[in-house]
């Protein structure tokens, strides 16, 4: 698409310095045993306290990138650096939210949320669980079982579980993709309020242009497989963002810019 150039240089200049980065991927590649090359030469910095989205088509390796950051998958090439000290889920420094709620159906909401703490042998978890459930608006549902909840509520439980260790870094892998639009909008708003209140760093993987623009300070557009960074786009709209932002001309403008960048990225073979 003519007129669209990767905007990396300008964006890098305006973004915080590397020293402020919480995690840096350097030339990360991932080749699966099957021979599929998911990532090739992915480099990106995530800054402390920011809300950044990875946007790309299905299969571009964005989920793989997230799993590498989480330590669930080892990169075949390149390095993952933690300038502010290693963040480790076992130490409670990383929270992960999957596309599905991924709850234990045999355990109550409270015991699901408590899981990261109880696996680490934390005895007094009651208060932390109550706080996490209050954050997602489910304080009254501690004793409920997952099957008694709606899809949106299950996802809230999943977010509460990721927050219960008070992580520095929250990784979210298309968490709202399976929800209906009304529920998704509501959870978008609640997630933003939570982010503003808690100021955790969030890496949010999505294939929705609209969702990424609504939520993020910065969007990293990835190419199709093998994925790497095609462009970074800042969304400087102020927070709090609410439904008025969703219908504003400003929002529509950003969406067009991101959609055009994504279309250009789709045209590029990695």
Partner 1 sequence: MSGRVLRLVLPALLLAIVVVVWEATVRFFAIPAYVLPSPALVFGALIDDRALLFNSLLVTLGLTFEGFMLAAVGGIVLAMAFNQWRLIEYSFYPYAVILQVTPVVAVAPLLLIYLPQHLAVLACAWIVAFFPVLANTTLGLNSVDRNLMALFDLYKASRWQVLMRLKLPAALPQILTGLRIAGGLSLIGAVVAEIAAGSAGAGSGLAYRIAESGYRLNIPRMFAALLLLSLVGVAIFLALSALSHLVLRRWHESELRAEN
Binding site for partner 1 (CB under 8 A): 67, 70-72, 88-90, 94, 96, 98, 100, 102, 104-107, 115-116, 119-120, 145-147
| 121 vs 236 by CB, closer to partner 1 | 121
d(CA 81, CA 21): 9
Nearest distance from C-beta of residue 98 to partner 1, angstroms = 5
| 93 vs 237 by CB, closer to partner 1 | 93
Nearest distance from C-beta of residue 89 to partner 1, angstroms = 4
Which of 135, 167, 137, 132 has the alpha carbon at shortest distance from 153?
Answer: 137
| 67 vs 200 by CB, closer to partner 1 | 67
Q: What is the DSSP letter of 167?
A: -
Nearest distance from C-beta of residue 252 to partner 1, angstroms = 35
CA torsion 211-114-73-178 (nearest 10°) is -30
Q: Would you tell me how many other CB atoms lie within 10 Å of the CB of residue 61?
A: 28
Nearest distance from C-beta of residue 90 to partner 1, angstroms = 4
Query: Rounded to a whole number, what is the largest CA-CA distance in the chain?
Result: 60
Nearest distance from C-beta of residue 215 to partner 1, angstroms = 22
d(CA 209, CA 243): 16
Q: What is the CA radius of gyration of the chain?
A: 18
By the 8 A CB rule, do 24 and 203 touch?
no
| 132 vs 265 by CB, closer to partner 1 | 132
Locus of tokens 């300070």: 217
| 201 vs 261 by CB, closer to partner 1 | 201
**Please, which residues bridge with residue 21 across strands?**
47
């Amino acid at each position: 698409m003519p007129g669209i150039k990767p905007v990396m240089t300008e964006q890098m200049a305006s973004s915080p310095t590397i020293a402020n980065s919480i995690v840096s991927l350097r030339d990360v590649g991932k080749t699966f045993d099957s021979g599929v090359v998911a990532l090739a030469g992915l480099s990106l910095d995530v800054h402390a306290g920011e809300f950044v989205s990875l946007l790309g088509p299905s299969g571009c390796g964005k989920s793989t990138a997230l799993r590498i950051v989480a330590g669930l998958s080892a990169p075949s090439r390149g390095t993952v650096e933690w300038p502010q000290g290693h963040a480790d889920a076992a130490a409670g420094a990383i929270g992960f939210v999957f596309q599905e709620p991924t709850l234990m159906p045999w355990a109550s909401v409270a015991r699901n949320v408590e899981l990261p703490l109880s696996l680490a042998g934390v005895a007094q978890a009651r208060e932390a669980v109550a706080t996490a459930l209050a954050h997602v608006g489910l304080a009254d549902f501690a004793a409920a079982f997952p099957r008694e909840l709606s899809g949106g509520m299950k996802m809230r439980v999943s977010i509460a579980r990721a927050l219960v260790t008070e992580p520095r870094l929250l990784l979210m892998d298309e968490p709202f993709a399976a929800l209906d639009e009304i529920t998704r909008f509501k959870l978008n708003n609640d997630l933003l309020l939570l982010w503003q209140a808690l100021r955790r760093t969030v890496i949010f993987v999505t294939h929705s242009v609209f969702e990424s623009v609504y939520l993020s300070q910065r969007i990293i557009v990835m190419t199709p497989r093998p994925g790497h960074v095609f462009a970074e786009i800042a969304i400087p709209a102020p927070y709090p963002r609410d439904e008025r932002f969703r219908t504003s001309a400003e929002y529509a403008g950003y969406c067009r810019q991101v959609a055009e960048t994504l279309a250009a990225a789709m045209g590029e073979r990695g």
